[in-house]
Amino acid sequence: MLKQLRCRKNYHWTLSLPIKNYQLIIIFVGFISGCASTHSPYSTQELMREKQVLEDNELGVDGLGGARIAELTPDGSQLLVASGDDNSLAIFDIDSDFKLSFNRVFVNNSTIDGLDGAVSLAISPDGRRVYVVSFYDSAVAIFEQDEHGSYQFIRSIRDGLPYDEVFSDKESVKKKDKLGLLGAYDIAITTDNSQLFVASVASNAVSIFDINKSGDVVFNHAIRDSDNTEYGLGGAVNVIITPNNSQVIVAGFNENAITIFNRNANGALEHSQTLKNGKDGVKNMIEPQGLAMSPDGQYLYSACGGGNAVVVFARNEQGRYSYIQSISNSDDDVSGFGGAGSVTTSPDGSRVFVASESDNAVVSLAKLNDGTLKVLSVFKSEGIKKPDERNGAASVYVTPDGKHLLVTTGKGDSLIVYSLH
């Protein structure tokens, strides 16, 4: 199942359930809190040591209510966190020992707009800008460093539709959906800082924005699931770009699908392939939520909440993908994939980590020579002193030096830092 976003007015949006007579099918990215290790049934165990736990509203920390995603700035000096319950972008400073300290938090107010239900972010390659997408504001909020290197809110990009109107599923709303940002859920930026891509669950679309030489963000167009070709973008929840910027890949939660677009030198997208559960040998790819590419661009990983699984695809020289493996809770002696919603790799590609919301777990896997994965260990929130703070693993992120794993938690309202050995 897709993870849940606790939001204002106590609305709990759950896939396929009507809320206040709004009938639109939607998706949620949930949160797994940091996880304490338990005794592993696997022969080899990943060495993870908890280094620091930051909790919302504790010791001066703010902006971790429903923490959704965490990412380091390119220079490694700060960590940025988008949180859906606090409707915020929180900034933490990092010292030489990788100890985090709270710096500041941005929330919606009279001068800041576009953070209601903040769910994901992208940082420009030079670190000067941060782009935050919000589910309820259906917006992209832009922050930019000032002359002192501090981030400041610049503007937001949105159609301006109130969320209660957006999720009413009326034909009139579709006509007002010019940008394809309704229920914006994920964002990715090219390594050359030329384009942004946004996946939006209510628009069933991936939106393309160009970044010109002056730094202006200009809407190009949106590719929607209702276009002439059936793309598999229903409930688009995640978007990634291959390391060489040659492909854009989108997860369609509602259609159990992953859609691949080829991207040419001018930034135009052309549909290449749609992978669907139950076709061409694909198994357990039910409700794909998280996507990740191996650093060499040869393997595609998907965390699938409905399948309680991680699914692996291999990429050939023509840029086409074929299914090679899935590991799920239905397999013998396998656990920790319940509600799998986030996946990432180590910088060298030798390790894959999965965050699973329902199982309150982080799973560590090794990539074997043939591209398949082997479970090394499962870390769960069992047997710890304060289990509440570690429930609902939302995301996993490995630092560029491969020394630390960051876990955000939705129900625990926490950020957990692990040392990797």
Give residue-wise pLDDT tens across range 37-96: 443 444 445 678 889 999 999 999 999 999 999 999 999 999 999 999 999 999 999 999
Q: Using the predicted structure, report yes or no on whether residue 25 has a pLDDT greater than 80.
A: no
- Structure-derived torsion over alpha carbons of residues 193, 194, 196, 197, reported in degrees to the nearest 10: -120
Confidence of residue 22 (pLDDT cuts 50, 70, 90): very low
Of the listed ranges 163-177, 258-272, 356-370, the least confidently predicted one is 163-177
- Ordered strands of the 393-398 beta sheet: 48-55, 414-420, 404-409, 393-398
Phi then psi for 172, rounded to 5 degrees? -65, -30
Q: Using the predicted structure, report yes or no on whether residue 116 has a pLDDT greater than 80.
A: yes
Kind plus residue range of the DSSP H or E element containing 261? strand 257-263
Q: How many whole angstroms separate alpha carbon 244 and alpha carbon 293?
A: 11
With a pLDDT cut of 90, the percent of the chain lying above it is: 77
Of 160 and 98, the structure prediction assigns the larger pLDDT to 98
Q: How many whole angstroms separate alpha carbon 288 and alpha carbon 304?
A: 4
Could you tell me the CA-to-CA distances from 411 to 33, 92, 303, 357, 399 in Å, in that order? 7, 20, 19, 9, 23
Closest C-alpha to 207, from 189, 183, 224? 224
Of 82 and 160, the structure prediction assigns the larger pLDDT to 82
Read off the DSSP letter of residue 329: T
Q: Using the predicted structure, report yes or no on whether residue 203 has a pLDDT greater than 80.
A: yes
What is the SS3 assignment for 205? Answer: strand
Q: How many whole angstroms separate alpha carbon 387 and alpha carbon 360?
A: 10
Q: Using the predicted structure, report yes or no on whether residue 169 has a pLDDT greater than 70.
A: no
CB 156 within 8 A of CB 142: yes
pLDDT, mean of residues 356-371 = 94
Within 8 A by CB and 6+ apart from 279, the residues are: none
pLDDT, mean of residues 96-123 = 96
Confidence of residue 26 (pLDDT cuts 50, 70, 90): very low
Query: Tokens representing 186?
Result: 């994920």
Q: How many whole angstroms separate alpha carbon 203 and alpha carbon 206?
A: 8
Could you tell me the CA-to-CA distances from 314 to 223, 302, 317, 364, 373 in Å, in that order? 25, 12, 10, 20, 12
pLDDT at 226: 75
Q: How many whole angstroms separate alpha carbon 135 and alpha carbon 130?
A: 17
Closest C-alpha to 79, from 64, 94, 58, 62? 94
pLDDT at 418: 93
- Evaluate if pTM is beyond 0.85: yes
Domain ranges of the chain: 5-420
pLDDT at 34: 33
pLDDT at 23: 33
pLDDT at 35: 36
Looking at domain 5-420, its CATH architecture is: 7 Propeller (2.130)
What DSSP letter does each residue of 222-245 carry, written as one string?
EEETTSSS----TTEEEEEE-TTS
pLDDT at 228: 63
Q: Using the predicted structure, report yes or no on whether residue 12 has a pLDDT greater than 70.
A: no
pLDDT at 103: 98
- The model's pLDDT over 247-303, given as tens digits with 9 standing for 90+, comes to 999 999 999 999 999 999 999 999 999 999 999 999 999 999 999 999 999 999 999
pLDDT at 130: 98
Place of tokens 């396929």: 16
Closest C-alpha to 300, from 288, 89, 308, 8? 288
Q: How many whole angstroms separate alpha carbon 53 and alpha carbon 43?
A: 28
